[in-house]
Amino acid sequence: MDVDAVRARYASLRDGGFVYFDAPGGSQVPDEVGDAIARALREASANIGATYESSHRVEGILAQAREDGARFLNCSADDVIFGQNMTVLDFALSRTAARDWKEGDKILVSRLDHDGGVAPWVELAADRGFEVEWVDVTDDLRLDYDDLERKLDERVRVVACVASSNAIGTIVDVARVSELAHSVGALCWVDAVQYAAHVPTDVQTLDCDVFICSAYKFCGPHLGLAYGRHELLESWRPYKARPAASDPVGRSFEPGTASYELLAGFSATIAYLESIGGMEAVVAYERTLGQHFLDALPEGTAVYGEQTMDGRVPTFLINLEGVDAVDAVRQLGERGYGVWAHDNWYSLGLREKLPYPGSAIRVGLIHYNTVEEVDGFARELGALAGQ
């Protein structure tokens, strides 16, 4: 992958004056994606179903986006669902799934999970009398599959988990979770917001039932993308305006008018990723860059979670010995490096297992970052540690 050529496609990266290591909070966007959104607003400002040309253009945008989403996830275009973002899709689909559940049914969530994948179930349980239980993590902050297996019984209706942690980058073996969930007739429900931005996705291999991600994590617009197992979607009664389209089946779970201009931007995002070699090229480059980052960290840096790139994406949670995280990110920002400090990173279950007393620094790399940026950042960390 020619990283210089990649960076040339981003207006935000061309001056080289600021380094974005904040991809877990939202990636930069190539110019062609913004151009596609603007073009759709100029040329396809209409709704589907009319007889005139601008409406036909919108229908073409929608059909193309479904095909592109299906190719990205390796599923049928019929089973693609678009929404505002992962969290909104999760709240909506969880309520659809639970229409016929009974009081006392159980939901398992993981301590690695972002609260966007936990709160929908917690609130649903409060409304309907369900039980929510945490699946624990091991001492090295991996998902505890033995604990998951112990907590599975005939009352469990869904096992919700992340595919990779938004805080510490740990990858979950979703195929194994799916197998365990299905052994008791439960659904495997995946928050893949961090995973889909860094790892080639194949929902067929993962064998999950629901898989949700957000395009703004992989250089696209603020848009949620979901897959649902076809026979599952066909069995659900969606919350929707009754005359609204129900064909293909994924469309049934989009209750209102879509953001067609963002769908045009989504298609441009998928075209961009494919033009740089696809997610296979992305993961190869990011693994090398992430290991370089780990190797370059100065003495006295604590890394929470996996200590190599095995079993993780390039999202790192770190602290410098004797340096306040909030003060560190302020100084790093002044020196041209964009990172964040936070207490829990919306991973409330994981926070209870993390040893730092206040906040920690999250560093998120993505394929437009460079070795030179990593080296410069490591030098700045060393200078902060030296203070």
Domain end among 244, 273, 302? 273
Q: Are residues 109 and 189 in the same domain?
A: yes
Q: Are residues 9 and 56 in the same domain?
A: no
Q: Are residues 230 and 291 in the same domain?
A: no
Residues of the chain falling short of pLDDT 50: none
Q: Are residues 51 and 199 in the same domain?
A: yes
Q: Where are the beta strands (DSSP E) in the chain?
A: 19-20, 80-83, 106-110, 131-135, 156-162, 187-191, 210-214, 224-228, 301-304, 315-320, 337-338, 340-342, 360-364
Q: What is the pTM of this model?
A: 0.96
Contact 208, 188 (CB under 8 A): yes
- Per-residue tokens: 85: 């973002």
Mean model confidence pLDDT for the chain: 96
Quote the domain boundaries for residue 84: 33-273
348 vs 345: CA distance, rounded Å: 8
**Which residue type, as a one-letter code, is found at position 240?**
K
Q: Are residues 285 and 201 in the same domain?
A: no
pLDDT at 33: 98
Domain end among 273, 300, 319? 273
Q: Are residues 226 and 284 in the same domain?
A: no
- Write the CATH number for 373: 3.90.1150.10
Contact 80, 258 (CB under 8 A): no
3-state secondary structure of 216: helix
Q: Count CB atoms within 10 A of the CB of residue 283.
A: 16
- Write the CATH number for 255: 3.40.640.10
pLDDT at 242: 79
Q: Are residues 141 and 248 in the same domain?
A: yes
Q: Are residues 163 and 285 in the same domain?
A: no
Q: Are residues 13 and 98 in the same domain?
A: no
